[in-house]
A = this chain, B = another copy of it.
């Protein structure tokens, strides 16, 4: 049995969404944040970092959204619906690049922006300038890469769209998505999919 350790308000709803897209059976263990928005200490019993998503596959426990997605497609996606077969090395490399991108290059500048939003005035100048430049660079790159496509790798949703949607959603919550209408439309399309709505429903929103 797959068990998702799900912390409310955060990234792990996106892992639940992917499980719904895959049509897999899974159990949910739901955690609430405390008064200051931190994860509860019980999550540390599952994984030492005490973060979410963490998925228990029975035989072992896995963290890192990109690693969880890779293991899910390698194990369950035998029709290559959410990833190209490994025999197509070029397509698979690009798939891996986009999967990594949302967790690495795209995430860090938005995290800095989030921290800045919590910092009282006066805002630190060097960090503010970094965040403004890097967030615009990444979101512009995402908008250009998506272009007129429906999904980041073409005409059907694949695993990297999960993280890509997460980044769009984080940018939207920070008030940064306005200048990127393609990204906003993409995010809204994806978050209106039946699988996403089922994930919302099962996790209690």
Query: Footprint of B on A, CB under 8 Å?
Result: 48-49, 51, 57, 59-60, 62-67, 70-71, 74-75, 86, 89-90, 92-94, 96-97, 99-101, 103-105, 107-108, 111-112, 115-116, 118-120, 123-127, 130, 137-138, 141, 144-145
Contact = CB atoms under 8 A, between A and B. Distances in A.
A82 to B, nearest CB: 15
B96 A71 contact: yes
Contacts of A93: 57, 60, 62, 67, 70-71, 74
A97 B127 contact: no
A71 B99 contact: no
Contacts of A101: 63-64, 67
B104 A75 contact: no
A112 B130 CA distance: 10
B71 A89 contact: yes
A115 B100 contact: no
Contact of A64 (B57, B71, B105): B105
B96 A51 contact: no
Nearest to A86: B74
Contacts of A141: 48-49
Given A60-B90, A64-B96, A124-B127, 9 more contacts: A65-B104, A67-B101, A71-B92, A100-B103, A103-B104, A108-B111, A112-B112, A118-B126, A119-B126
Contacts of A90: 59-60
Contact of A119 (B63, B64, B111, B124): B124
Given A115-B130, A124-B119, A97 B67 contact: yes
A127 B104 contact: no
Contacts of A123: 124
A99 B107 CA distance: 16
A144 B47 CA distance: 12
A96 B92 CA distance: 15
